[in-house]
Amino acid sequence: MTDARMAIVVVNHNTREHLRRCLASLVADTPAQTVVVDTGSSDGSADLVRYEFPAVELVETDNRGYGAGANAGLARSRSRYTLLLNADTRPWPGARLALASYLDEHPRAAVAGPLIVDEHGHVEPTARKFPTPLEILLQESGLHRVLRRKVRNGAPQEVDWVLGAALALRRDALADVGGFDESYFMYNEEVDLCLRLRRAGWEVHYAPVATVVHFGGASTSLQRAAMVQQYVRSTAALYRRHFSRTEQAQLKAILGAALTARSVRERARLLITFDRARRRAVRSELEAWRSARAALRGV
C-alpha cells in the first residue's frame, strides 16, 4: 500500500556503495516517490541509479554544495512532506510513515529530525543548540562533555536545530523561507534553515519516532584539510548572516585559539612520534589545522 504523504530525496556525491544500500532499504519499505540528486559524481553513482533502480527519479547536477542539491531534489517532490537523506544513511523500516504521522500531529513543525544511530547502534546527539559563541567555546574546549549542555536526545521535543543527515521537511514551511541557502557549500546549511524557519514562526522538532542509521563522513573522509577549511568558512558565513559584529569577533577569537592549540598539540606529537605511518597521520592533522587557520584569517 502506497502512502503519498512523504516523498524521499537522497543527495549523493561519490558514495556509490552507500547509495546502493540506502536505495535498497528504501525500495524494500513502503513505496514512495524517491528522488536521487547526484552532484557530479565520478564513481558511477548515476549509472547505478539508472540501471539498478529504474523506478527512482534521477537528477544530475554540478556539485554546487549540499544545499543546492537538496533544493534540486525538493523541487521534484510531489508530497506535502519530504524525507531528505544523505546517501550514507539507511532508514529503518517504517521510518518514513512514522515521521509523516508525526508531522501530521504537529502542524507547526517545519522540520522533524529522527533518532540517528551509527553502524554500531550508538545514538548520535543530533538535537542541538544554536552555535552561539558560548556554545562554540564549550564545544571547541571540550567543556560540553563536563557541563552536558547538549540538548537531551530522549523524548520528542522542540529544539533549535537538528543534524541534516536525515530531515523530515514540510513543503509549505520550506516555501515560506525559500528552502536551503545555496551559498553554503557544506556545513551549517541546516542550521541556517532552522534559524530562518524559527524566525518565521515555525518549529523545529527532535522526533525519535523513527530511526535512521548514519555511516558518517563517507564523501569527506579523504579530504580532511578541505573539509576543515569549509567548516570555518561556513561558520563564519552563518555568523555574518545571523549574528552581531561583536559575536563575529568572538567567534574568530574562539576558533583562532582552538586551532592554534591543536596545531601546537600536533607539533608536539610529531616530536615524539617515530613510526612512519603515524607521522604521516600527524602531519595530515597538522596540515588540516594550518589550513583552517589560513581560512579563518581570510573571513
Give residue-wise pLDDT tens across range 186-208: 899 999 999 999 999 999 999 99
Whether 1 is covered by a domain: the verdict is no
Cβ(131)–Cβ(181) below 8 Å = no
The percent helix, strand, coil of the chain (3-state, each to 5) is 45, 20, 35
Whether 153 is covered by a domain: the verdict is yes
Side-chain half-sphere CA neighbours of 237 within 13 A: 18
Does 299 or 279 have the greater pLDDT score?
Answer: 279
Shared domain check, 103 and 78 = yes
Mean pLDDT for the stretch of residues 101-111:
98
Whether 263 is covered by a domain: the verdict is yes
Model confidence at 148, in pLDDT bands (50, 70, 90)? low
Predicted confidence at residue 2, as pLDDT, reads: 63
Shared domain check, 255 and 183 = no
Can you give the CATH number for the domain in which 208 is found?
A: 3.90.550.10
DSSP E strand stretches across 217-268? none
Shared domain check, 63 and 186 = yes
Give residue-wise pLDDT tens across range 249-268: 999 999 999 999 999 998 99
Give residue-wise pLDDT tens across range 8-50: 999 999 999 999 999 999 999 888 999 999 999 999 999 999 9
List CB contacts of 58: < 8 A, sequence separation 6 or more: 35, 36, 38, 46, 49, 50
Mean pLDDT for the stretch of residues 116-138:
92
The full 3-state SS of 132-168, as one line of letters, equals: CHHHHHHHHHCCHHHHCCCCCCCCCEECCEECCCEEE
Relative to beta strand 6-12, strand 166-170 is unpaired
